[in-house]
Structures are given as structure tokens and as C-alpha cells.
Amino acid sequence: MNMRRAWYQSVGCWLVIIGTLPTIAAEPGRADSRVQAPPVTAPNTAQAQIEKQGPLMTDQELFEAIDLTGKGLEAVKAAVGAGDLSGAKRALAAYLRARTTVPWWFDAHHPARDTKYSKQDADNTVAGKVQVVTIGYTFPQGNIDWFYNVTTARADLPDNAEWQWQLNRMDFWPNLGRAYWGTGDELYAQTWVKQLRSWVEHCPHPPKGSDQKAGSAWRTIETGIRMSGSWPDAYHRFLTSPAFTDDDIVLYLKSCIEQARYLRQYPTTGNWLTMEMSGLYTVGGLFPELKEAKDWRSYASGSLYAELNKQFLPDGAQVELTPGYHQVALDNILKIPALAQLFGRMNELPGDYVARTQSAFDYNLYLMTPDRNLPRFNDSWPVGVPQTLARASTLFPQRRDFAWIATNGQSGEPPAQTSHPFPYAGYFVMRSGWQPDANYLCFDAGPLGYGHVHQDKLNVVLWAYGREILFDGGGGSYEQSKWRSYATDTYSHNTVLVDNLPQRRQTKDREANVSRQPIDVHWTSTPIYDFAAGVYDDGYGKEDNRIVTHTRRVLFVKPDLFLVADTLTPKDNAPHTYQVRWHLLPTATKTDDANGMVTTADAGQSNLAVVPLLHDGLTVRTASAQTTPELLGWWVRKDMEPQYVPATTVLHTRQGTGVQQFLTLLVPLKPGAVNPVQHVTVLEPGKIAIDFADRPRQLVTYDLNPLGGMNIGRIPNP
């Protein structure tokens, strides 16, 4: 017996039908090229019987949990009163099959043959072939082991606890149900029932406390996701199938009760809480016959109503400062009024529940990039803003700017302002306009955030004429690897390293990393320019190693010149090495060795010139797809194939004692345009002249005070 099996048996969670972890071998015909484990042998019958547990709730406890005085439950009540629990279960199943008083998003009694589904994916589910966080695996004989993790079983994959956790979300069930409706093939129903029985029988909930550890089938986030989506969706698809027997319906209900009680007892915080509560509310809404249902709905809706003030800051940002999870939290909070309206229970919610979400949609609107997405700050991924604002324009019809984005300008009006500050989140958005080909920069001068954090203060990202070029990768997949470490640390962000040491802000006190007051950042926005200045004065390498203060100023002279000034002020007289990193998505670049200018060079697309203005003592180099002695020039993507994509890192390095200064001009280039900067001349400290090919000579002035002003203005040719 392996150690994982022994641990799960010790806490009451039992493996499904395998004895030992498989050895590694090749499997032909797999969707990707990774090595696949071979079939494993089933355990002997005695071992399988020992492991089979079933739901913890007894039949008697089930009927004690139901209010048997409800209309339609007369036969159930009579059978229970007569001590005929078998008859009571048959009557309960018949009641639930016939019940029409509680709707779902589709009518379980009228299967639609024209439903959209993937037959291939459904057939894969029948075969036990799953794809989780982009990694595929086929379970022998189609029998899913809910505790198996292919990433820990195979030496060629980095460990990723999310694989097993997300397996227990059953994301493949809704498609299986749609395929059943579309084809009428009972094999799909039989497969779902088999998997339902397998999970309930072999995954009884932990006897004490919540189980959030790696390898758990009962992490509360998965429990909430199951209860609000994949489980009720499949339940309603298969409700009328003969494969879904009376005993199976009772089994399903017992498990839902156990999972709802678990969510009620062990709520967490942050975006997890929103998923937990949407799951709890769903069970309470779908089974109002349960005595606890009203409490579950009240507790869930009340918790998330309170979170609208606690979890969302006054500028609309969710406290994790992670755009992807901002949307997760917002979507789950809004599930409750959507379900309440479906169930006819809007009167149970506070009257301003939905109204309180408006600022969260403002966040999406004003942080939106020209390609109608959100920056991948912290552990984030692409978020389609027009889709989110289509929902917002329905909830808030008076907001014509929401409608304008949602309809691509076909209705409504563009937002009243272009550039926008988020004084609590610490994001400062500078844009030339709202067109898809606009220039855009976002400066992140805020705190770490409540969760999913990266060590990247004063990071910037930039879209040049609508194209993302200066990027933040979003942290990659939640694996244990050098790639994940790189993607979440200062090394992969557009900010500064000191003595090759990354930033180190504390992460133990999560609430301390949330700003409940506006942060101390200077911000000015006019029709001509935007300006922001922020400071990083925490540790490098270690939290208490506060050897240097980094001040970054960003000036945007509209529509197409961005000036970034980095001032490094040491607290000692020792020499230090400072390195500014610029991470570019294109791998095609041109370097002007005479002045250190690096320009992306993708034909037919917009590009970006990275122009250092202070050359003395500066070294410039580029790296792409480098793996030794350190990772450089990579975009580490989250749950995508390929996961590691070559990019370009531009490194500006200087050494010395005392205050050191970097000054960098970022010039967006239209498709076909070349870098217009021809010559840079330092006239005196704080004053630089730039000769352009496409405009008059410009004078750059910058205050030597790290927080002072900057300017780019025309001067006559000498």
C-alpha cells in the first residue's frame, strides 16, 4: 500500500479501484506528446470491499433533514411514519422526478435534441479519458480514481496539486449531459451514474475539520464549484433517464446535503468564499424541502452581500488585485441574484445587492486594455471585457459606457475619461483613447494584494497601437517548478532587481497587503499628458533587507511617448548592481549597439522601441528562450499548451555607489514604421535632447528629486 493511500485511509477518504501508482510508459494516440501511464490492475475483491464506504448519511438521517409537511411529500411522510424507508426513498425519488416547482436553467422534463455538445469529449468521458489543466490521462477501464494525480505519478511532469483538485470539479459532466440530450444514448447516462456512485462511495467527507490539503477531494473551492455548476447541471440532464435509479437520486441528494453542510461549516475568505457560497446557495435553492435550505440561502447571500464592501475596494478592485479572480468573485456573487430570480426568491435578498456590484464593473471598464482584455497582474489570465460588460449593461441600463464596450460601439457612448487611477488597488491606467488600436500603459504601484500575489511593485505593461508587447505573463500554472517561481517573482516583471535580488514583501499577514485607504502615489492626468510616481522601499532578497529605495516615475505624452524614470537610492555607501528588466512578447528584435536601443521587429504588426536615454555606465543586452544560468526571455502561461513560450527580455544594468538613475523612453510604432529615435544627447543633469526622424527635436527634462516632475517638450534644432 503506498503512502498516499495510507494517508487517505487515515482521514476517511478512500481511493477508488487501484492498488499502486502506475509505472510510466508510452500511450499512442494521446492529444499531446507527453508520456502516458499504462493501465493499472484492479485490486482484489476483498480490498475493494474494504475501501467502499458510501455516503455517511443514513436513510433515517436523510428523512430527518426533510420537511415532510410540504406539498407533494405526503407519500414520503406516510412511508417514513410506517417505518418503510425503502418505500419512502421510492416516493422521494418519484417526487423529485416529477417536481416542477423548482426550475433550473433548462427544463429537465423536455430534453432538447438540438443542444450543443462535443460527442468526442463525451466519448472520452465514457472511456475515462480526462483533460485537466491541459494534461490528459486515461483511467483504466474508464474507472476514475478521484485521488489520482498524474503530475505526481510521472517524473517528467512538475507536481501540480490542481490536477487532482480540479478533477473533482467534474467539468466534463455538463458536456456528457448535453450529449445525452442530443443523442439519447443511455451509455452517457450510465457513465454519469457510474461516476456519481464512484465519487460518493469513495469520497466521504472528512470526519473533522475542512480538508484543503493536496490530494483532497473535499477542498472547499471544489465543493462550491461542484454544487453550483457541474452537479446540478448533470442532475437535471439525467433526471429522467432510467439509468438514474431511485437509489441514485437519493444518493445524489444525500451527498448534496453533506456538501452543503460542509460549506456552511467551513467557509473561507477571498474568491474562495464566493465559490463556496454560490454552491451553498444553489443547494438551498434547488432543494427547498430541506429544513436547512432557508438557512443556507440566507447565510450564503448574507455573506456575499457583506463581501461586496469587504472584498471589493472603493475603486472597484477585488482585494486580491488579480483581474482573473476579480471576475471569478464577481461572477459568483452575481450567481446568487440570478438564481434567486430563477427560483422566485428575490425578496430574500437586500434591495441593493446588485447595485453594489457596479463599481466592480467600473474596474473592468477602466482597466480594460485596447484588445478588450484585462492585464494579467498577479495570478491572472485573459478576461473578455465586452462579455462582462454585456451583463453589466443589462444590470445597469443607465450606463451607456458599458453598452458601448459591450456592443463594440454600436450603441451607447464611450466612457467620459480615458486614463484612470485606481487609488486603492494602485493601478494607474494611461491610454491614448478607447479605440482598439490605442496606446496603453498600466503602472502597478500598489500593495501585494490579499492572495495570488507576485513580487512586482512598480511593474508596467504596455500595448502599442492595440497590440500587447511589454507584458506581464500572469504567473503560469500552479505547479512546483522553476518556471512557476520565475513567473511569480520580480525576475519576470518589468521592474528593478538590486544586486540580482528580487523584491520581498511579507505575505503572512494577508490583510496587511490590502489598502483600505488610498495609497500614497502621485497622479496627474490631463488631455495632454498623464503622470504617476510610486515608491518601493521594502526588502530585496529578504523582507528586512531594506538596502535600497526604488522610485519610479511614468510620464505619458499623448498619444505615443512614454518616459519611465527609475531612481535607486541606497542606504549605505557600498556599490550595488541595479538591473531594469523589460519583457517583450516578440522574439524578433533589432538592437542598435551604438546607443542600446532595442526595437521589436514583427513585420506587418505594431512594434515597440525601448530607448535608454542615460548611456554612461549602462550595459544593454537581450535574451530569448534562455534557460541557463537563469530563465530569461519566456512567457510562462497558465494552463495552456505550449505552457512555456519564448519571448524577449531586455536588461539594462548599471553599477555604482550613491544614487543611480535610469531613464527609458518607450515608443509605440505603427505597423511598418521604424524606430524614429536617431540620436540622444545628454545636455546636462536633468536635461536630454532627442532627435527624431518623424517630429521635431524634443527636450526631455526631469527633476533630480526622485518624486519630481518630468517633461517632454519641443526645442528648436541648434
All structural domains of the chain, each given as residue ranges with its CATH number in brackets, are: 417-714 (2.70.98.70)
Please choose, from the candidates 670, 654, 671, 673, the residue with its C-alpha nearest in 3D space to the C-alpha of residue 662: 654
Please choose, from the candidates 248, 485, 464, 457, the residue with its C-alpha nearest in 3D space to the C-alpha of residue 369: 464
Q: Is residue 46 within a helix (H) or strand (E), and if so which, with residue range?
A: helix 45-51
Q: What pLDDT score was predicted for residue 716? A: 63
Burial class (CB in 10 A: 0-12, 13-18, 19+), 351: exposed
The amino acid sitting at 189 is: A
3-class secondary structure, 534: strand
Q: Is the pLDDT of residue 56 over 90?
A: no
Q: What pLDDT score was predicted for residue 565? A: 98
3-class secondary structure, 138: strand
Per-residue pLDDT tens digits for 445-456: 999 999 999 999
User: Does the pTM of the predicted model rise above 0.85?
Assistant: yes
Computed over its alpha carbons, how large is the radius of gyration of the chain?
Answer: 29
Query: Three cell numbers at 340?
Result: 434567486
Chain centroid, CA 479 distance in Å = 14
Per-residue pLDDT tens digits for 640-681: 999 999 999 999 999 999 999 999 999 999 999 999 999 999
| Distances in whole angstroms, Cα of residue 40 to Cα of each of 24, 145, 250, 640, 678 | 11, 11, 32, 28, 66
Q: Is the pLDDT of residue 42 over 60?
A: no
The mean pLDDT value for 275-286 works out to 98
**C-alpha to C-alpha distance for 559 and 527, rounded to whole angstroms:** 10
**C-alpha to C-alpha distance for 661 and 569, rounded to whole angstroms:** 9
Per-residue pLDDT tens digits for 130-153: 999 999 999 999 999 999 999 999
Catalogue the E-assigned strands of 79-186.
129-132, 135-138
**Residue 213 CB: number of other CB atoms within 10 A?**
13
Per-residue pLDDT tens digits for 494-546: 999 999 999 999 999 999 999 999 999 999 999 999 999 999 999 999 999 99
Say how many Å lie between the first and final Cα of the chain, rounded. Answer: 84
Q: What pLDDT score was predicted for residue 205? A: 81
The mean pLDDT value for 20-47 works out to 29
